[in-house]
Chains A and B, each alone.
Chain A
Amino acid sequence: MLLAALGIGVIAVVASALLGPKKASRAKLMPYESGNDPQHGGVGTGQRFPVHFYLVAMLFIVFDIETAFFYPLAVAYQKLLPFAFIEAFTFILLLLVGYFYVLKKKVLEWA
């Protein structure tokens, strides 16, 4: 499946690169900027972007690890029963403390 899926993508790109006209010009290869030449438009030219994206990524890692811990618990839940609920609930409570801290720190606000 991986081979076939990868094959389709590669074949399509190669075919498109071979077929089709090739008349490049300086204006055509310029990055998009409504007809202007973007002097400082590139990514490597020191453009900065908000730290919010970094924070969201960090939070995602934390909460996704939480999710990863929950999957085995959820699958085996009915077998572990009398004790599993208390344990899961304690774990969620611990995480909720962190979640409310993040909320109060206004990390998730996009101004």
Chain B
Amino acid sequence: MPDWLATSLITLLKAILVILGLLTGFAYMTLVERKLLGRFQLRPGPNRVGPLGLLQPVADAIKSIFKEDINVTMADKVVYTIAPIISVTFALLAFGGIPAGPAGSLFGENPWVYNLDAGLLVLLAMTSMGVYGIFLGGWASGSKYPMLGGLRSSAQMISYELGMGLSLLGVLMLVGSTRLQDIVGWQAGNGWLLLFQMLGFVLFLVSAFAETNRAPFDLPEAEQELVAGFLTEYSAIKWALYQMAEYISMFTASAMMVTLFFGGWKGPQFLNGLIPGISEWPIVWFIAKMAFFVFFFIWVKASILRIRYDQLMRFGWKLVLPLALINTVLTAFYIAYFKASWGLWPLVLGSLIGVGLLIYVSDAVRSLWNTPGIRRAEDLSPRAHTVTPANRQTLGGD
């Protein structure tokens, strides 16, 4: 067998393995999410199908594949069919570039499907391709709720993509490479990037929530206002493909956060004292860290209210974008003038102050950046909310 054929066969095999892993992960993710949401709300969650509800995903999959596949009359047939495929394809594709261990650690092979020099850029490009699937699906349904859902969703995703891209510039400046392996290696030598880029991480986290349409930014799927957003006219497996894309992009976002900010597949060094070599168990650490983030996604969904659409856009454009720029400039300034004499560690203090400021600012600025024009007149007068005999009538009385 020639060499190139063997290589490409192995790549194909790894790709299929990764995809099957992600599909299983997605199926059980739905179960885990429902179980955890149940636990958060003091109820058991699904526990009827199979022991502990473990066969629930299988039942769901069988049901959705045997359902009637409806093509709505108003739909643009071709685009309507292709859109979910685009969505799921690029969601799956993005995950293949993430390294889950050092070279050669997967039975002599490399634990990634493809590893490019511009790995980070490719990852960002793939995740942003999800916009096309969602918007085309919403448009092709030929109905107004999917159309509005798709529009909202695409505007939201492209807005937060900016924050996502800009919040990573500090990381790139420190590491000086876009290869994900190099970023992991840098963190093994210098400490997790989370420490040096805490503000960048928080902005990235927020953007990742918005980019994957997860709560509290799941407006495109706001059941109470838009039916089901771009999903309204979909049924059977096409609907399931969209759900799949959403969950897989959640996995990808978790994996990106692990790789970029949490030391990737390397475990903490001090545990080596307890069990020798434990910090070098590549895939175990990677999956453990990813699981934490996936849990975090669900935790947030269970606890935080959905925000309004204008608040969402204002938050993205007026807070995340400028703060990411400020973070970039300050990091650049530090590297340019102080790194040579003071080393990296003062950045930790700087990033802590940055996060503190973010928390303070996001609370204080909320009312400041409201547009006066769209407020009602009575909101502006300070006495409107105190009940006096004069305005008791207008407030409705008691």
Contact = CB atoms under 8 A, between A and B. Distances in A.
Interface of A: 1-6, 8-10, 12-13, 15-17, 19-24, 28-33, 38, 41-44, 47, 49, 52-53, 56-57, 59-60, 63-64, 67, 70-71, 74-79, 81-82, 84-85, 88-89, 92, 96, 99, 103, 106, 108-111
A9 B84 contact: yes
A5 B93 contact: yes
B69 A3 contact: no
B162 A60 contact: yes
Nearest to B114: A1
Interface residues of B, number: 80
Contacts of A15: 65, 237
B374 A53 contact: no
Given A5-B15, A8-B92, A59-B317, 14 more contacts: A1-B11, A8-B19, A9-B89, A13-B81, A13-B84, A16-B65, A16-B67, A16-B237, A20-B236, A43-B142, A67-B166, A85-B336, A92-B329, A99-B322
Contacts of B321: 63, 99
Q: Which 9 A-B pairs have CB atoms at the shortest separation, nearest pair first?
A: A16-B237, A110-B310, A31-B143, A9-B85, A74-B172, A85-B336, A5-B92, A1-B15, A4-B15
B161 A60 contact: yes
Given A29-B71, A47-B144, A76-B176, A89 B371 contact: no
A9 B241 contact: yes
A51 B16 CA distance: 43
Contact of B121 (A41, A71, A88): A71
Contacts of A24: 70
B204 to A, nearest CB: 13
Contacts of A82: 336
Given A15-B237, A75-B172, A109-B371, A20 B65 contact: yes
A25 B238 CA distance: 20
Nearest to A10: B85
Contacts of A103: 318
